[in-house]
Amino acid sequence: MESTVDDPWLWLEEVQGARALDWVKAQNARSLGELEADPRYRPIYEDAVAIHTAQDRIPYGTPIAGTVHNFWQDRTSVRGLLRRTSLARYRTPEPEWEVVLDLDALAQAEGENWVYGGRQFRPPDYQRFLIALSRGGGDAVVLREYDMATRRFVEDGFALPEAKQSAVWLDTDRLLVATSHGGGPVNTSGYPRTIRLWRRGTPIESAELVYEAPETDALLFASVSHRPDGRHAFVLRMPDFFHEEILLIRDDGGTVRLPLPEDIQFAGVFAGRLLVTLRKPWTLGAETFPAGAAVSLDIAATIEAGTARGVRLVAAPPARGALQGIATTRDRLLVQQLELVRGRIEQAEPDGDGWRLRRLDLPDLGSVSIVAADDHGGVAMLTYEDFLTPTTLYVVDGDAPPEPIRRLPARIDPEPYTAEQRIARSADGTEVPYFLLRPKQARTPGQTPTILYGYGGFEIPLAPHYVSALQKAWLEHGGAFAIANIRGGGEFGPAWHQAALKANRQRAYKDFYAVAEDLVASGLTSPRRLGIYGGSNGGLLVGVALTQRPELFGAVACAVPLLDMLRYHRLLAGASWIGEYGDPDVPEERAVLERYSPYHNIPDRPLPPVLFETSTMDDRVHPGHARKMAAKLLERGHRVLYYENTEGGHSAAADLLQLAKRDALTVTFFLRTLADG
């Protein structure tokens, strides 16, 4: 392992440093000059643009009290439109939309590169919202109050300058804010660590402190449930990503912590009951609720007793799967689950003091997802998709069966291709499933160019989805695409994630290698034709694979990655991920990180060519990770292309055209390295 004392590339961590940006400019010119000159690049890019900006995409909406709100981007509205229509019109094939706010016009008028970051609607009439706008797509946002009736920002309304911050409505004239403005302190990750009550017409400096978290905590949020059956306000304190305290905010502004285990996750409120999911088993008296389950408890009775009361099982996780999330309508819950990495949704209705489950009649060979649900009505919106079946949008209204109201037109002829689920066996004998999307007519054995994609972290599952623009281009050029469901992800519940935490991280990497070896052993491809692709934590995954098993792969695309695992906790939001990776300042945990940190373990042997993709405006994972790794590899004579978008945040794309460019660069790189020759 290389010395970590002297780092000659530390200057590349200066995000806006002149020397660093000159280096980025030179690398961009070299990489774009090579990839964009390839005759295949332009057609791939144009096709990706057509897919990403197509007018016949599904306009996903959020139902609120009979109205459906939508954020829409296309070739003309690059930054996007905020639109609304009635629920009745939304059910029709061509709904008539009312434009509420044109973000392209706003950006032009204000001379800002605004990227939409979400909004919070104000109850009880939902005619105003607090909008988050970022400059270039980063996590830091400006917050401003907007009135849909007047089509204007509210004069002297709530507004906060740019910061990593959040706010929710307590009522029409009060917000619960987590911000560094007005004297609010930040934690070691750069996120706010106070929740304050901010009253309309008063300066943020006078906002009343509700709660202050320790400096070392990962995250802190406020959450308010506005339902017909009552309002509940909470502080959600997260010491790390996988432990949580829930505190009820009383009417007098004080807080009381709910007596719950810390390894839970807040999932909502329904009729005076708190909904949580469990990361570990929870024993109460003679009853034990399993890890991965969803439970409810009586909020008022729990507060009065000082101990959990009225705890009932909502849904247990599937035997070979995981509970993915809960949404609430006025009268029932929707529970989203995965079983063998395939989706299903059940409705949970109150049944006395417990719950009665009913599975919705939806296809079960791909992914079923909850898009949105209305706490003030009976409506929820769901989707079904698989790799070769375009997405269908369903509306569920009360007891009525799911009604398909819109389907994405086919983007690819499915006939020449097949999708299947396979099982690889990891080094310790663990069965690791993966999906494979490939041409039915395979090439000569071992010669199919194949991209293997992975993530394996933060409880995030990789489930089937309809073929993307990137995958379409790759398939149409004769390639195969595999997705690995390795440990560390959320495909099989908390235990699947926890199996690859901290000191056990290498299990995720061995799972990934097992899938790669299975693809080769099956006769589909060979190391020369096998490329790997991942972003963020997945960028770390492929960075480790590059340095540990370079002989197994023919090319690596590494996007917005973590790579310097001995400094990650000192860069931007890195400290908030200590619960996932471990703390480099703790000797025994540092020793584990030292063994696999890609930046410190570059082997003295040939490596496959690498494409790094990142963003100057990524204020979550520092672009210095990719910059430094690329520079070190280039210095040692390895084949490296580096592209840094000057905007785009952690997605490395601020709009649909930039997303299409990222897709085209990636596909072109893999064609040149895996398919040619």
**Distance between CA atoms of 321 and 340, rounded to whole angstroms?**
6
d(CA 94, CA 406): 10
Any catalytic annotation for residue 189?
A: no
Active-site residue flag, 181: no
* Residue 356: Cβ-neighbour burial (10 angstroms; 0-12, 13-18, 19+): exposed
Query: How far apart, in whole angstroms, are the C-alpha atoms of residue 266 and residue 295?
Result: 10
Query: In terms of DSSP bridges, do strands 114-121 and 321-328 run parallel, antiparallel, or are they unpaired?
Result: unpaired
Task: Render 529-562 in DSSP notation, one character per residue.
Answer: GEEEEEETHHHHHHHHHHHH-GGG-SEEEEES--
User: 524-545: buried (b, 16+ CB within 10 Å) or exposed (e) per residue?
Assistant: bbbbbbbbbbbbbbbbbbbbbb
Give the active site residue among 497, 569, 650, 651: 650
User: Smallest Cα–Cα separation from 179: which of 198, 156, 201, 153?
Assistant: 198
What is the DSSP code (8-state) at residue 673?
Answer: I
**Bridge partners of 166?**
178
What DSSP element (H or E) covers 390? strand 389-397
* Residue partners of 131: CB distance under 8 A and separation at least 6: 82, 101, 116, 117, 118, 119, 143, 144, 145, 146
Using alpha carbons, list the distances in angstroms from residue 224 to 177, 256, 350, 623. 11, 15, 22, 34
For residue 622, give the amino acid letter: H
Query: Counting every residue, how long is the chain?
Result: 677
* CA distances from residue 177 to 195, 211, 220 in whole angstroms, order as listed: 6, 11, 10
Q: Is 197 helix (H, G, I), strand (E, B) or coil?
A: strand
Q: Which of 536, 597, 615, 651 is catalytic?
A: 536
Active-site residue numbers? 536, 650
